[in-house]
Amino acid sequence: MPNAKIDDPQYVERQYRDASNLKTRLGLHERFSVNPYGWQRWVFDQLNLPPACRILELGCGAGTLWLENLERLPAGWEVTLSDFSAGMVDEASRNLGKHAQFQFKVIDVQSIPYESEIFDAVIANHMLYHVPDKSAALAEIWRALKPAGRFYASTGGKRHLGEIADLLSKFDLELSFWGNRTDSFLLENGEVQLSEWFTGIRLARYEDALEVTDVTALVDYILSGRVDIPAERLPRFREFVAHEVETHGGVFHITKDSGLFASVRKEKVE
């Protein structure tokens, strides 16, 4: 069972070669989140931008942020959707390519292929923890933003999905790596990482949790990520998860601790 790091480029490439794994995980949140006001709608609410602006989204995935907010999109917004994965960019293009406001590009955030100071806003929605060199990425985002441009970066906290980490450790201690993200980009340490390049940093938290009643959906969610359980052990793992859900009265509670940093490009970086 390999200890795949969340910012390992090979892992990220495999994980997001297409939208299948992401769809599995988003499906669990769509079905079992207790907050009826969805995450993508909430993220869009946080965007404080003028009626006409140029936006770059990094790690756009299937373009879900925009799909769920199309009717709210100002006519003057020009949005470039980008991802490290060509497969994800293709998926976003299939979903949104008919809308003239969107452009699509494969981009490594550590080397953004645009001139300096051309975007009014950059959005990184749950993706910075996948980047090996976060300092290089933040420097590139700073460079690509116009003076006083805005940067929005969402992520999770240390408690996010903690019950899944506990579940995996209980099944096999070798899987305890799943919840180990202390050196990543988290709600607890994101401000410190951003502060070298950005000012006016504000953190907004999204209140939510999961109440999962479907064992298969929970197992599929777990297997869609970094966990690699050999085929011969999968039946035992499914039985274990079913027992844990039953032990919790048929409803398995999972903490969600997510939020978004809003910040402004510093005038100068020393």
The whole-number pLDDT of residue 205 equals 97
176-229 pLDDT per residue, tens: 777 656 668 999 999 999 999 999 999 999 999 999 999 999 999 999 977 888
Q: What is the mean pLDDT of the chain?
A: 92
Across 1-25, average pLDDT: 71
Q: Give the CATH superfamily of 9-157+182-208+257-265.
A: Vaccinia Virus protein VP39 (3.40.50.150)
Q: Rounded to 5 degrees, what are φ and ψ at 254?
A: -130, 125
129-146 pLDDT per residue, tens: 999 999 999 999 999 999
The whole-number pLDDT of residue 128 equals 95
More confident position, 39 or 21: 39
Amino acid making up residue 256: K
Strands 252-265 and 145-156: antiparallel
pTM to 2 decimal places: 0.92
Token pair of 251, please? 């409803």
More confident position, 28 or 17: 28
Instruction: Flag whether pLDDT at 2 surpasses 60.
Output: no
55 exposure class (CB count in 10 Å sphere: 0-12, 13-18, 19+): buried
The whole-number pLDDT of residue 1 equals 40
Domain boundaries, the chain: 9-157+182-208+257-265
- Alpha-carbon span 219 to 224, nearest angstrom: 9
The whole-number pLDDT of residue 227 equals 84
